Amino acid sequence: AAPVRLPCPFRHGHRQPRAFLLRPTAGAFLGGYDGSSDLHVGITNSNGVVYNYNEEGIHRAETGWEQCISIPLVQPDMFGLLQQWDQLLEEFSVGEAWLPHRYEENDHNCYTYALAFINSILSTQGKRQMSKSEFTEKFVIPQTKKASKYITLHQELTVNDFYIVPLPDQEKQC
């Protein structure tokens, strides 16, 4: 019985302050993503500028992350971190570890950069650092499972001539 309401798992990354973002390296999740293409990650500052790392070094993107998976990194009650976030992200990003020649597709990449920044924040708070597998299992996989189901449904509906209309509050997000 139409209409059916399903929340969109994708967010406009530049409207997601202090977050870990995930998107396809090329294209968009709802634009032909096949589930096996490379993904790219970044971290937003308080204004939604996405800091990300690739073979050309650190980038500060103000566009290009309009459809991504977003994982918030700072709780609203963390006042000190909220105030220092941009400075900490900028200082971390200018480190020698993130120079272009150090990039290595499998071992020193965008995910390495993002997780290293997250772990630097955890260290300053006196908290235990997270391994790549731990962060992925705890934060990334639950979100990508939702996204995968949504993409599959979206593809099926599109192929079978159903009309998909974003809800008014979702138009801002997807």
Using one digit for the tens of pLDDT, what is the confidence trace for 55-72? 999 999 999 999 999 999
Cβ atoms within 10 Å of 159's Cβ, excluding its own: 8
Backbone angles phi, psi at 149, to 5 degrees: -65, -40
- Residues whose CB falls within 8 Å of the CB of residue 115, separated by 6 or more in sequence, listed in order: 130, 132, 135
pLDDT-wise least confident of 25-29, 75-79, 131-135: 75-79
Provide the number of structural domains found in the chain. 1
- State whether the Cα torsion 139-40-32-133 is positive or negative: negative
pLDDT of 171: 47
Distance between CA 18 and CA 27 in Å, rounded?
Answer: 23
Higher pLDDT, 72 or 3: 72
Specify if 164 maps to a domain.
no
- Residues whose CB falls within 8 Å of the CB of residue 154, separated by 6 or more in sequence, listed in order: 30, 164
Specify if 145 maps to a domain.
no
Specify if 80 maps to a domain.
yes
Write out the residue range of the structural domain in which residue 124 sits: 10-138
Specify if 147 maps to a domain.
no
3-state secondary structure of 87: helix
pLDDT of 2: 61
pLDDT per position as a tens digit, 39-52: 999 999 999 999 99
Specify if 131 maps to a domain.
yes
